[in-house]
Amino acid sequence: MASPALPALSGAAAAAPSVGKRIKPPRIKAGDTIGLIEPASASDDPFDLVLVEEAIRAMGLVPKRAPNLLKRYGYLAGQDKERAADINAMFADKDVKAIFAVRGGWGAARALPFVDWDVVRANPKFLIGYSDITALHMAIAAQGGAVTLHGPNASSAWGKASVESFRGIAFDAATPLFENPKANEDRLVQRRWRTIKIRGGKAQGQLLGGNLTVLTALAGTPYLPDFTGAILFLEDIDEAEYRIDRMLTQLGQAGVLKGLAGVVFGQCTNCRNAEGSSFTLNSILRQHFESLGIPAFEGAWFGHISDQFTIPQGVLAEIDADAGTLRLLEPAVA
């Protein structure tokens, strides 16, 4: 069977450049039109999209469905070219001021060869989402696109903390200090929602990262940026300790971890081997990150959880591994 034709050369992917200064999109304002795309898996129930649109309107924004949003192809939200066409259309649409991924799942990486990167670069606007949307975040960074937002998908629960974090970054040009919430526990010391220092210290660099599994799968492609000087942030779900070890080994041997300024490992939801393991997640992270000689900590409040920080990709930040915090040093908006 013949391979699918690639896009025209003008929109084709170039080799990943070194981390440089990223273009910042305009801030989102009340009344703005927000594009809705499903670049990966399909929603199970059409009513989910109704709830998504209600959530967007509750933020004071106007939802706009991409043309192929209701398409289905197996577990995917349409053919690869159809999902890429929606990405291209929403970036090209001058009325659309930002783009929300409805959900993650799997499949965004399959659409990347059909994205028109010239259109993406020429129309800086926020792409918002997480999990499998990491593939788009990384590709946009590698191909010289604008700052994007690793935050809730449009179909996420959108609790108060998530809304406030997103609005602060995208609407208000905030430069927050990201620190975990305080657990309301009847305990002498806090046990839940703790951060754990892997190696202490402070460092500055651009924030780049997302889902570990998705990011690792891009190694060796033109869709993974150069992480030299970056603060790498990672999260995952349903991965046993040995698989986390395997992926970090691959990233290390591929040179991705070399030259980092710092590392933040967020929430790893259900990341435990049911049969037991002689290595804990913390011990695996120490094996891979301590020897880098850079600040690193785990347990930050982002990932597959009900509320999470919105973290801008490509924005200068400072890590304080002793305090378990990240602080933006510049706004994400122009």
Which positions are annotated as active-site residues? 131, 235, 304
Contact (CB, 8 A) for 69 and 76: no
Would you state the structure tokens that stand for residue 111, as one six-digit string? 């659409």
DSSP secondary-structure letter at 302?
Answer: -
Would you state the structure tokens that stand for residue 82, as one six-digit string? 């159809």
Give the number of other Cβ atoms within 10 Å of residue 256's Cβ.
22
Would you state the structure tokens that stand for residue 150, as one six-digit string? 């690793």
Q: Shortest CA distance to 215 belongs to which of 148, 283, 139?
A: 139
Please name the residue ranges forming H helices in 188-240: 212-217
Q: Shortest CA distance to 131 belongs to which of 223, 252, 268?
A: 268
Give the relative orientation of helices 241-253 and 281-289 as an angle to the nearest 10 degrees. Answer: 10
Q: Shortest CA distance to 78 belongs to which of 54, 102, 50, 107?
A: 107
